[in-house]
Structure 1
């Protein structure tokens, strides 16, 4: 079956986001920073905001659990834009090359509904998707829950087996494959354009 659709995850694929970009200078102590990110402001905690919990609620929950880290916890979302360092140029370039191709382009991202508008406003390449973006925080669903892929498939009337899904998270890739998507797993040394050409995608 021929490929008709290309679906991009955003963080780690076209956007370079990492809380360390802010907390490195804030702590000036890598060990303390890693302890904070591993035990206090964890990925699991941040994921709940991506799932639709408000930033304010998430912050208060964590402050109540770890009052001794209140300052750092409150700093997390106050400095979120510093954590969004930049785009990932070589992958954005591939996306731009696809803008006028025969493929339909979509976004499927785990991202808070409150912070995603900042990225939309500040990085013009998001316009390439023409609004065809499924955001976890808006849907109250989060990858790797298969239900969020179902939202994408149903909303845009597309088929998994005609779609390439690109993500940097191994678990998301695993689930997408089980749903019938053709997948590209982004790692540090992935040449996205080559991977696409290998699948027969034409630029």
Structure 2
């Protein structure tokens, strides 16, 4: 996570449209392609992997990961997981957490370019993610260029507050010196969009980079797309 002392107020002097000055991004499903299956497939029996990755979360991976996102420690969560699901699944859950980089196979197409273009337009670019404090460093270690493109990041597991609750959005506004009516938030989860809107942020449910550009344009933010090779 970026040291708050390194965060500077957004310089709006080069922004072509003064209404929107800052854009905030969720991480998994928006900047990073997150795939639990990629971390465990081929390492454990296929039928078990399919059960773990089922939409109804029958093995509780996502439910227990929510507790990590809220700031709990892995050892504490794992003890409760083992009590509910047994040693075999608990071992897989630990393996998944310890090999989290494998669950991040790539960046979402077009998003690195979008971050570059936002910076070129003079907008502030920020991160706001529900993520456990013990696995979050994996994201920036694997994709350091994304860390370099963000002016700061709020991580739920570090702050012990999480989306869609109002306090984490309000923390971002305060720490990054933002105003809700001049800021836009992108997240792939509908309830997190609703939470952002409740505190006054412009917010859009993310589908892909092209749609994000259209959503920004609807607020008057028109970006020049500059090829990365020209930088």
Structure 2 length-normalised TM: 0.79
Q: Residue in 2 aligned with 1:181?
A: 201
Whether 2:31 is the aligned partner of 1:11: answer: no
Cα offset for 1:37? 7.1
Give the unaligned 5+ runs of structure 2.
1-17, 224-231
Question: Which of 57, 71, 79 is matched with 1:52 structurally?
Answer: 71
Distance 1:63 1:200 in 2: 51
The answer for unaligned runs of 5 or more in structure 1 is none
C-alpha distance in structure 1 between counterparts of 2:132 and 2:50, whole Å: 28
Aligned to 2:158: 138
Deviation at 1:72, TM superposition (A): 2.1
Q: Is the deviation greater in 32-41 or in 189-198?
A: 32-41
SS of residue matched to 1:89: coil
- Residues of 2 paired with 1:118 and 1:35: CA distance? 24
2:95 to 46, 51, 75: 75
Distance 1:126 1:66 in 2: 36
Q: In 2, distance between residues paired with 1:17 and 1:165?
A: 19
Scaled by the length of structure 1, what TM-score is found? 0.89
Q: 1:35 to 1:133 in 2, by over 3 A?
A: closer
CA distance 1:189–1:127, change in 2 (3 Å) = closer
Deviation at 1:65, TM superposition (A): 2.0
Tell me which residue corresponds to 2:3.
none
8 Å contact from structure 1 (residues 120, 126) kept in 2: yes
Cα distance in 1 for residues equivalent to 2:111 and 2:207: 12
In structure 2, the partner of 1:112 is 132
> Any conservation in 2 of the 1:24–1:33 contact (CA below 8 Å)?
no
Q: Following the alignment from structure 2 to structure 1, what is the Cα–Cα distance between the partners of residues 164 and 154?
A: 14
Aligned-pair Cα RMSD in Å: 2.1
2:56, 2:35 → 1: CA distance? 11
